[in-house]
């Protein structure tokens, strides 16, 4: 590739904006279109919408078909939602327009287990139109699937795998603290769980990807959510968690094979965690313990994963791709 990749930003919410901001910095990307349905964004320059101090000469439009037809992108960054069913129509429209897709939709990261028919349909359409579809991000997309799988390369045998992502929410923004239920009573916390707003989406997809990578047939995948209850008062710059209140959330995913738990994903985000870190623990030959000290900044990493995947997606054979099967994604900001 000598020229730039022509890219359309589809979805200008918080994640889409962070992807587009990074895209605007990259020498290998030319933003050629932007799509969103929010009337406050439609008709404005993308540079302004994503908070740059310069115009990009790209107007946000709510007419996806027109943008795709006029912009003729190499790749579309699809960041409109988490649910495969909800983005399916948008996705197929892009594929039929002949553009590759890099999406942050969590359920698209490894949809083969939960949605085999939809997955097969996306794969078929992508092949028919000669394009590649990939979903990626920090989690799912890296920390709880690609990274642990990459570490197994040096193992002669893997019997069990556990991944922990522990985030101290205190330094994070208020919306993040609210999202994880910090400062809620246990009743309020349960209401958020019941409403489905507190759930991290993607544990099941990550477990399915790990299992597929290792060649394991799982009996079932389950997960549960519980509050992490403050024992002492915890203060963040934005709120105070009283003893007995929820300091945040612990969500645990389980992959069961022959009745035994072989994959455990442990996701914790709460105010007052002693340290943030990500860790992979492999039981096998040999055992391994790998730690990202200080953890991984989710918003930075998700945008990075999207942009760093572009060259791999464009070069990949047509179809529905997953992170476990494309070549190593590398920071390509220094390329081009």
Q: Which stretch binds its own copies (CB under 8 A): 103-111, 191-199, 208-216, 233-241?
A: 208-216
Q: Are strands 157-168 and 234-235 parallel, antiparallel or unpaired?
A: unpaired
Does 259 sit near its own copies (CB under 8 A)? no
Binding flag, residue 150, its own copies (CB under 8 A): yes
What are the angstrom distances between the C-alpha of 3 and each of 28, 74, 131, 335?
Answer: 7, 11, 19, 12
Which residues, 6 or more positions from 65, have their beta carbon under 8 angstroms from its beta carbon? 93, 97
* DSSP code, position 104: -
C-alpha to C-alpha distance for 307 and 302, rounded to whole angstroms: 9
Cis peptide before 40 (omega within 30 of 0): no
Identify the three-state secondary structure at position 88: helix
User: Which one, 39 or 327, has the nearer CB to its own copies?
Assistant: 327
Q: How many residues bind its own copies (CB under 8 A)?
A: 54
Alpha carbon distance 100, 95 (integer Å): 7
Q: Is there binding between residue 324 and its own copies (CB under 8 A)?
A: yes
Site for its own copies in 20-79 (CB under 8 A): 22, 25
Q: Say whether residue 285 binds its own copies (CB under 8 A).
A: yes
Return the residue of 158, 193, 241, 310 that touches its own copies, per CB under 8 A. 158
Query: Which region among 121-129, 231-239, 248-256, 300-308 touches its own copies (by CB under 8 A)?
Result: 300-308
Residue 127 token pair:
């092949």
Which one of 67, 97, 144, 149 is in contact with its own copies (CB under 8 A)?
149
* Tally of CB atoms within 10 A around 91: 26
| Residue 82 CB, nearest approach to its own copies (Å) | 19
Does 134 bind its own copies (CB under 8 A)? Our answer is no
Which among 110-118, 143-151, 185-193, 240-248 is the span making contact with its own copies, rule CB under 8 A?
Answer: 143-151
CA atoms of 156 and 148, how far apart (whole Å): 15
With CB under 8 A as the contact rule, the residue among 88, 96, 264, 284 that binds its own copies is 284
Q: How far is the CB of 142 from its own copies (least distance, A)?
A: 6
Reduced to 3 states (helix: H, G, I; strand: E, B; else coil), residue 27 is coil
**With respect to its own copies, which residue has the nearer C-beta, 126 or 326?**
326
Query: Residue 242 has which token pair?
Result: 């009283």
275 near its own copies, judged by CB under 8 A = no
- Measure the CA–CA gap between 27 and 15, rounded to whole angstroms: 21
Applying CB under 8 A, which part among 58-66, 184-192, 207-215, 230-238 lies near its own copies? 207-215
Residues 252 and 227: beta-carbon distance below 8 Å? no
The window from 63-71, 127-135, 176-184, 321-329 that contacts its own copies (CB under 8 A) reads 321-329
Tokens encoding 159 = 């019997």
d(CA 71, CA 185): 50
| Burial (Cβ within 10 Å: 0-12, 13-18, ≥19) of residue 54 | exposed
Give the binding range for its own copies (CB under 8 A) out of 4-12, 30-38, 78-86, 214-222: 214-222
Pick one of 76, 265, 296, 313: the residue that binds its own copies (CB under 8 A): 296
The residues that touch its own copies, with contacts defined as CB under 8 A, are 22, 25, 138, 142-143, 146-147, 149-158, 213-216, 284-286, 288-294, 296-297, 300-301, 303-305, 307-308, 323-336
């Amino acid at each position: 590739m000598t020229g730039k990749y022509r890219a359309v930003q589809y979805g200008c919410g918080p994640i889409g904006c962070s992807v587009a901001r990074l895209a605007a910095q990259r020498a290998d990307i030319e933003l050629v279109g932007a799509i969103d349905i929010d009337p406050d964004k439609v008709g404005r320059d993308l540079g302004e919408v994503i908070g740059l101090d310069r115009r990009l000469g790209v107007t946000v439009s709510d007419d996806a078909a027109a943008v795709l037809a006029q912009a003729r992108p190499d790749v579309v960054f699809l960041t409109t939602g988490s649910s495969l069913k909800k983005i399916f129509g948008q996705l197929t429209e892009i594929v039929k327009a002949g553009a590759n897709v890099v999406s942050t939709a969590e359920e698209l990261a490894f949809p083969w287990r939960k949605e085999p028919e939809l997955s097969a349909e996306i794969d078929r359409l992508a092949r028919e139109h000669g394009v590649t579809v990939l979903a990626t991000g920090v989690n799912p997309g890296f920390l709880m699937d690609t990274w642990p799988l990459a570490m197994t390369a040096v193992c002669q045998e893997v019997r069990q795998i556990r991944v922990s992502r522990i985030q101290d929410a205190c330094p994070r923004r208020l919306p993040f603290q609210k999202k994880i239920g910090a400062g809620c009573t246990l009743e309020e916390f349960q209401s958020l769980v019941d409403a489905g707003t507190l759930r991290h989406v993607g544990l099941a997809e990550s477990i399915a990807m790990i299992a597929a990578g290792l060649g394991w047939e799982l009996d079932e995948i389950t997960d549960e959510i519980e509050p992490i209850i403050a024992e002492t008062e915890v203060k963040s710059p934005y709120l105070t968690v009283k003893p007995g209140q929820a300091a945040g959330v612990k969500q645990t995913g389980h992959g069961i094979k022959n009745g035994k738990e072989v994959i455990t994903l442990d996701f914790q985000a709460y105010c007052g965690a002693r340290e943030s870190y990500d860790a992979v623990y492999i039981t096998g030959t040999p055992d391994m313990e790998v730690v990202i000290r200080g953890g991984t900044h989710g918003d930075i990493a998700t945008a990075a994963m999207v942009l760093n995947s572009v060259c791999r997606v464009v070069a990949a054979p047509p179809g529905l791709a997953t992170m476990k099967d494309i070549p190593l994604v590398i920071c390509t900001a220094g390329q081009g």
